[in-house]
Chain A
Amino acid sequence: GQNIDQPTEMTATEGAIVQINCTYQTSGFNGLFWYQQHAGEAPTFLSYNVLDGLEEKGRFSSFLSRSKGYSYLLLKELQMKDSASYLCAVSTNAGKSTFGDGTTLTVKP
């Protein structure tokens, strides 16, 4: 089975940088996804990592270490609209992903 851990809640200030961690234990690994989910809405895709290292996409970056079973999502220049839940999801075979419980980020002025 899979075990995916994320902090439940985080708070940060507008304009700051925040790092959301995700650790996982899986039997087989085929990539790690990050999704953003605003309250009352569907999850939307943010990033995908399958090789070790950092992937940068504008204000958002995602890092992966397969040997440590560890990933993080880095959000820079936080905006109020970044207040949402951030879901880490691990793909363990072609097409199927298991989601963590999500980290609720609150951005304060």
Chain B
Amino acid sequence: DAGVIQSPRHEVTEMGQEVTLRCKPISGHDYLFWYRQTMMRGLELLIYFNNNVPIDDSGMPEDRFSAKMPNASFSTLKIQPSEPRDSAVYFCASSQIWTASVTGYTFGSGTRLTVV
């Protein structure tokens, strides 16, 4: 398996623009997580899905953020409109509940977002 695939790797956008981050989890994994990492706040959980259903979105900062998982192999995180304070590295991770104790979460390479 190619692992968790995220795109784009880097995104630079202007304040007010819409940004869409994409993630393809590992095949067979039933959990998908979106995390955001900054120096100030560390690694924060934004939202997670189980079998394509959003379970907990309490970490989503505000209504400007939304996430979808239309099928088991694809998820998006959208920011509209973007603001400079959204600048961070956004990680997608996936896991399989019965093997998480052996393999933990598998993270994608991340998307480094810069909003100017």
Chain A residues with a Cβ under 8 A of chain B = 31, 33, 35, 41-46, 48, 50, 87, 91, 94-102
Contacts and interface: CB of A to CB of B under 8 A. Distances in A.
Contacts of A98: 45
B2 to A, nearest CB: 14
A44 B42 CA distance: 16
Given A31-B101, A95-B100, A42 B42 contact: no
- Chain B contact residues: helix, strand, loop or mixed: strand
Contacts of A91: 100
Contact of B91 (A33, A42, A50, A100): A42
B100 A42 contact: no
B108 A42 contact: yes
- Max chain A CB contacts within 10 Å: which of B35, B56, B100? B100
B43 A43 contact: yes
Given A35-B104, A42-B109, A44-B107, A95 B97 contact: yes
